[in-house]
A and B are shown apart, each in its own frame.
Chain A
Amino acid sequence: FSFFPYMPKWRNNEVTYRIVNYTPDMNEPDVDAAIERALKVWSDVTPLTFTRLSEGEADIMISFSVKDHGDFLPFDGPGGVLAHAYPPGPKINGDVHLDDDEKWTEDTTGINLFLTAAHEFGHSLGLLHSSDTAALMYPVYNSNTDLTRFRLSQDDIDGIQSLYGYPSDSPDDPVPPTTSTEQEKPEGDPETCDPNISFDAVSTLRGEMLFFKDRHFWRKSINTIEPQLHLLSAYWPSLPSGFDAAYELTTKDMVFFFKESKFWSVRGSDIQPGYPKDIHTLGFPRTVKKIDAAFFDKGKQKTYFFVNDVYWRYDEKRQSMEHGYPRNIVTDFPGVDKNIDAVFEAFGFFYFFSGSFQFEFDPNAKMVTRTLKSNSWLNC
Chain B
Amino acid sequence: YPLNPAATAGTMSMDRIQKYLEDFYHLEKDGKQFVRRRDSSPVVTKIQEMQRFLGMKVTGKLDDDTMEMMKKPRCGIPDVSS
Contact = CB atoms under 8 A, between A and B. Distances in A.
A267 interface: no
Interface bin, chain A: 20 to 34
Interface string A1-14: 01011000000000
A81 B81 contact: no
Contacts of A2: 81
Classify the secondary structure of A's interface with B. Answer: loop
Given A2-B81, A139-B24, A140-B54, A120 B75 contact: yes
B72 interface: yes
Interface stretch (A82-90, A177-185, A238-246, A369-377): A82-90
B74 A133 contact: no
Given A2-B81, A4-B81, A128-B81, A139 B73 contact: no
A81 B74 contact: yes
Contacts of A123: 75, 77
Contacts of B71: 79
Contact of A102 (B52, B73, B78): B73
Interface string B54-82: 11000000000000010111111111110
A81 B16 CA distance: 12
Contacts of B78: 128-129
A111 interface: yes
Interface string B27-54: 0000000000000000000000000111
A141 B81 contact: no
A80 B73 contact: yes
Contacts of B53: 129, 131
B55 A133 contact: yes
A276 B53 CA distance: 34
A83 B76 contact: yes
A133 B52 CA distance: 11
Given A4-B81, A131-B55, A140 B69 contact: yes
Given A131-B53, A131-B55, A140-B54, A84 B77 contact: yes
A241 to B, nearest CB: 39
Interface residues of B, number: 17
Contacts of A220: none
B81 A139 contact: no
A128 B76 CA distance: 11
B52, B55, B77, most chain A CB atoms within 10 A: B77
A18 interface: no
B75 to A, nearest CB: 5
Contacts of A111: 73
Contacts of B72: 140-141
B55 A139 contact: no
Nearest to A74: B76
B55 A129 contact: no
A119 interface: yes
Contact of A82 (B24, B54, B76, B80): B76
A5 B81 contact: yes
Contacts of A225: none
B73 to A, nearest CB: 4
A73 interface: yes
Interface in A125-142: 128-129, 131, 133, 138-141
A79 B73 contact: yes
B73 A85 contact: no
Contacts of B75: 81-85, 116, 119-120, 123, 129, 139, 141
Contacts of A4: 81
Contact of B74 (A5, A75, A140): A140
B73 A129 contact: no
A235 to B, nearest CB: 31
A85 B74 contact: no
15 contacts: A4-B81, A5-B81, A82-B76, A85-B77, A116-B75, A128-B79, A129-B75, A131-B53, A131-B54, A131-B79, A139-B54, A139-B75, A140-B69, A140-B74, A141-B74
Interface of B: 24, 52-55, 69, 71-81
Given A139-B75, A140-B74, 9 more contacts: A75-B76, A82-B76, A85-B75, A129-B77, A131-B52, A131-B54, A141-B72, A141-B74, A141-B75
Closest A-B pairs by Cβ, 6 of them: A84-B76, A81-B76, A141-B73, A140-B74, A129-B79, A133-B55
